[in-house]
Amino acid sequence: MSDRIADVYGTRTPHSRGTVWPARVDQFLDPDVDEADVERWVQSACLLCSNGCGVDIAVKDGRMVGVRGRATDMVNHGRLGPKGLYGSTRWANAGDRLTRPLVREGGRLVETDWETAMGRIVERSKALLEEKGPLSHGFYTSGQLFLEEYYTLAVIGKAGLGTPHMDGNTRLCTATSAAAFKESFGADGQPGSYTDIEHCEAVFLYGHNMPETQTVLWARILDRTRGEDPPKVVCVDPRRTLVALEAERTGGVHLAPRVGTNMALMNGLTRELFEHDWIDHEWVAEHTLGLDDLREVVEPYTPEHVAEICGIDPEELRRAARIFGESEAVLSTVLQGFYQSHQATAASVAVHNLHLLRGMIGRPGAGVLQMNGQPTAQNNRECGADGDLPGFRNWDNPSHVQQLAEAWDVDPMTIPHWAPPTHAMQIFSYAEAGTIGLLWISATNPAVSMPESARIRRILGGDQCFVVVQDLFLTETAELADVVLPAAGWGEKTGCFTNVNRTVHLSEKAVEPPGEARSDLDIFLMYADAMGFTNNSGRPLIGWRTAEEAFDAWAAITGDRPVDYTGLSYAKLRGPTGLPWPVNEQHPDGTDRLYADGVFPTDTDYCETFGHDLLTGGTVTEQEHRAMHPAGRAFLKGAPYSPAHEEPSEAYPLLYTTGRTVYHFHTRTKTGRSRDLNRAAPDAWVELSARDAEARDIVEGDWVRVESPRGAIEVRARVGNVMDGAVFAPFHYGRWEPSEADGGGHPDAEHRQANELTMTVWDPVSKQPTFKTAACQVTKVRSGDGPSPAPTTTASAPVREPADGRRRPRRTEGGGPTSSTVLDETPDYPLDPSTPERGR
């Protein structure tokens, strides 16, 4: 029995390069449930990070009582992480679930029935359409809905109403991943595969604290680094994370650039490849465009110059570049340290450049994984509920719009393609001004997760915009809504979702939702019915009633697009493993990695975008794109480094950066309702380096005030592993607290929200907000009476044992018992290049 709060990654199963990752089946059941009592195991996939682990849900007496990893699933080979184990099902039985719709009456939210609640929405919606037209409507979704729900909403928004104002909180977590793919390769789509881990000689993690964001994937890497012929790890992160420790252990490098200087670092690495001619000239000539321009852009970035900008040792930069330049197979992974920073898209594209220069893409071990923050973010991108057109179609290409108009049987003019899709921050600005008069938010919590929280609360709480929220709980956002709709969650409805690795999983309904809660799909269908949206033939615009019908309708419009689902069906997904798209006649079992042939979706008539100026976000025109004649070649695009929007000053001398802990997901809506997870990270904290703490007379556990030009928080200090001059705050904690019995009742609940301090500013191309660069000051408020609540297991570990015994942090442990069984015989995984008969 293992305590997976203390032992986050579980038992090691080390193995050597090029062999199949062994299977290990992890299981958690509620304390009062015996395995023999489980009545049914229902197929699904985990929804608590973007890794997408295959899982079976245990059902007893009509309740979800636990989970077990699916041994045969190619994503996780049976493993689950602490969030998946302890957090998947407990929220479902929480006492504070929303079970009835709520409407605002005299300033208060009161219970009502569905007809009344939906009636109010439809009344407002119709009045706005009449008065101001479709641009008065905005939709803000999530990385938590299912594919069928995104697609249905996309059709409602794009073909029913005709509004370009659709986005998701995927904008906060994954927009840069999509944008970087589009700029380099012409369309969204993960080139690499998790199986690259088994074959790489080196793995580079850029701004990616994988041990806390995707624990099962990190376990997969640990099983290589602790086995024979391990890869070198290179870590780019301003914190001394577990990745950094592994880099030191494997003979790799930890590069800790100053917050906001990623682009300078990337230009330095790129220049080193040119300098040492670590370039595959033949491959580059055949498969890429833009070599000379890139060389010119990076020319000024000598190691010494970069070292000065980034505050690193030039020799370390040279060493990291040498590892990249001399390895035959490098896997790169990228996440929020790049995506939520200044120059996000340009820096992420620079990772692609390194791979393209060395021809290291499309073969086992040589790949790129631009990660996602959320489990269903990929579907939002694919289905077009985030503003993109469904099927990675180009809104600037009339024939792509025509394809959708024909599929939906509507006038192409209805489909809002005449301007770039409106991004989340702009949607909230329109809502602020009241030109969006109806904002519909599903399954997300912007009151906590968006930058500059005070402003977001003002927008949601004001009279200028009618706000609809559908969620599982009365979140900080729902509290501000005009109508609240109770939604069914994971395990209470059926649908599919797709992970970082393009792997599609079916998640079956295991139990009934509580009270009158309905699936998000049913809610959207109810709205469509009530609005009476019809197509050109006078039939209902949405021609489906069930999730499976929605899936089939979606698959039907993906043929001939990179994101090809035509070979997938619910029947096929009820097999032993999820399957990675494209799945079609040519690839009936899916596709492990893209671009094996070095042909990219950049053809002018096929691509998803004509591209952008990486510094300004100005769009490349069709004519300009055609003139370059990309014809399947990838783009090498460079950009000079420019300083962050907000540099430290006398008043705000420190750099503020936000992030995650392994024990929570997003704003804790689910994980905060798992006692095991909540006890592990019960309250907010802020991390300071030992030097910065000492300079302010701050010791472990002291109450400190962290202030930026926009707001302040007062939380306890962890003297930890951030670099000097940087301050780290976890973004999970809003006002909401579980009951005191479940570990709530913290005195700082009203002043601990990390986004009070962040800026309203975003990347010019991906429009992802910059959560990781703001200036701040930290001052001591009063002495603490114990250690800070920060976990000790991960990057938030204390830098050293405090002299004062009372301040010694308690070891983070005490998770309920889970089982973990290493299988004697590893199952066969389709597509896995390590499987002997498939060869390498």
Partner 1 sequence: MPHLTTYVGLADHSEKTLADSFRAVAIGHAHIADVHHTCRMLADWSDANRDALAPILERYGEADDVDEPERLHAAGLAQTREGEIGLLRDLQDLHVLASLVQTTWTVIAQGAQGLRDPELLEVAQSANAQTSRQLTWLNTRMKTAAPQALIVAP
Q: Which positions touch partner 1 (CB under 8 A)?
A: 132-133, 135-136, 164, 418-420, 422, 425-426, 429-430, 433-435, 613, 615-620, 642, 645, 759-762, 764
- Measured CA to CA, the distance from residue 453 to residue 443 in angstroms comes to 18
Distance in Å, CB of 762 to partner 1, minimum:
7
Give, rounded to a whole angstrom, the gap between the first and last alpha carbons of the chain: 37
- Measured CA to CA, the distance from residue 832 to residue 110 in angstroms comes to 54
Distance in Å, CB of 417 to partner 1, minimum:
11
* Nearest residue to 342 via CA among 259, 444, 464: 259
Question: Alpha carbon of 6 to those of 11, 433, 700, 802, 817: distances in Å?
Answer: 12, 48, 21, 21, 11
Q: At what angle do helices 291-298 and 262-275 cross, to 10 degrees?
A: 110
Distance in Å, CB of 437 to partner 1, minimum:
9
Among all chains, which residue has been given the structure tokens 């394809």? 403
Q: Which CB atom, from 359 or from 764, has the smaller least distance to partner 1? A: 764
- Measured CA to CA, the distance from residue 566 to residue 547 in angstroms comes to 16
Q: Which CB atom, from 150 or from 430, has the smaller least distance to partner 1? A: 430
Distance in Å, CB of 710 to partner 1, minimum:
12
- Measured CA to CA, the distance from residue 729 to residue 713 in angstroms comes to 10
Q: Which CB atom, from 342 or from 358, has the smaller least distance to partner 1? A: 342
Q: Which CB atom, from 419 or from 571, has the smaller least distance to partner 1? A: 419
Q: Which CB atom, from 537 or from 616, has the smaller least distance to partner 1? A: 616
Question: Alpha carbon of 705 to those of 71, 436, 690, 718, 754: distances in Å?
Answer: 47, 36, 17, 13, 12
Q: Centre a 10 Å sphere on the Cβ of residue 664 and count the other Cβ atoms it contains.
A: 26
Distance in Å, CB of 734 to partner 1, minimum:
23
Distance in Å, CB of 459 to partner 1, minimum:
13
- Measured CA to CA, the distance from residue 49 to residue 82 in angstroms comes to 11
How is residue 398 written in tokens?
């009339």
SS3 per-residue string spanning 672-705: HHCHHHHHHCCCCEEEECHHHHHHCCCCCCCEEE
Q: Which CB atom, from 272 or from 388, has the smaller least distance to partner 1? A: 388
Q: Which CB atom, from 371 or from 759, has the smaller least distance to partner 1? A: 759
Output the CA angle 587-588-591, nearest 5 degrees. 45
Label residue 229 left, alpha or beta by phi (over 0 means left) and psi (-120 to 50 means alpha).
Answer: left
Q: Which CB atom, from 586 or from 616, has the smaller least distance to partner 1? A: 616
The helices-and-strands tally (H runs, E runs) of the chain is 26, 29
Q: Which CB atom, from 146 or from 762, has the smaller least distance to partner 1? A: 762
> For the residues of 206-236, what is the DSSP string, one character each?
ES--HHHH-HHHHHHHHHHHTSSSPPEEEEE
Distance in Å, CB of 433 to partner 1, minimum:
7
Q: Which CB atom, from 138 or from 648, has the smaller least distance to partner 1? A: 138
Distance in Å, CB of 419 to partner 1, minimum:
5
Q: Which CB atom, from 475 or from 609, has the smaller least distance to partner 1? A: 609
Question: Alpha carbon of 411 to those of 153, 159, 394, 517, 540: distances in Å?
Answer: 18, 8, 17, 35, 15
Q: Which CB atom, from 617 or from 827, has the smaller least distance to partner 1? A: 617
Q: Which CB atom, from 466 or from 600, has the smaller least distance to partner 1? A: 466
561 Cβ contact partners less than 8 Å away, ≥ 6 residues apart: 391, 392, 393
- Measured CA to CA, the distance from residue 47 to residue 55 in angstroms comes to 10
Q: Which CB atom, from 314 or from 420, has the smaller least distance to partner 1? A: 420
Distance in Å, CB of 618 to partner 1, minimum:
3
According to DSSP, the residues that pair with 141 across neighbouring strands are 168
Q: Which CB atom, from 169 or from 812, has the smaller least distance to partner 1? A: 169
Distance in Å, CB of 364 to partner 1, minimum:
40
What are the two backbone dihedrals, phi and then psi, of residue 203, each rounded to the nearest 5 degrees? -130, 125
Q: Which CB atom, from 335 or from 438, has the smaller least distance to partner 1? A: 438
Distance in Å, CB of 616 to partner 1, minimum:
4
Distance in Å, CB of 465 to partner 1, minimum:
12
Distance in Å, CB of 348 to partner 1, minimum:
19
Distance in Å, CB of 277 to partner 1, minimum:
28
Distance in Å, CB of 136 to partner 1, minimum:
6
C-alpha torsion 447→100→67→682, nearest 10: 40
According to DSSP, the residues that pair with 54 across neighbouring strands are 45
Distance in Å, CB of 783 to partner 1, minimum:
38
- Give the three-state DSSP class for 633: coil
523-549 b/e (C-beta count within 10 Å ≥ 16 → b): bbbbbbebbebebeeeebbbebeebbe
Distance in Å, CB of 140 to partner 1, minimum:
16
Distance in Å, CB of 722 to partner 1, minimum:
26
What are the two backbone dihedrals, phi and then psi, of residue 458, each rounded to the nearest 5 degrees? -65, -40
Quick one: which H or E segment has residue 779?
A: strand 774-782
Quick one: which H or E segment has residue 297?
A: helix 291-298
- Measured CA to CA, the distance from residue 386 to residue 165 in angstroms comes to 9
How is residue 812 written in tokens?
């983070």
Beta-strand relationship, 726-730 and 654-659: parallel
Q: Which CB atom, from 389 or from 693, has the smaller least distance to partner 1? A: 389
Q: Which CB atom, from 428 or from 551, has the smaller least distance to partner 1? A: 428
- Measured CA to CA, the distance from residue 349 to residue 345 in angstroms comes to 6
How distant is the alpha carbon of residue 523 from its chain centre? 25
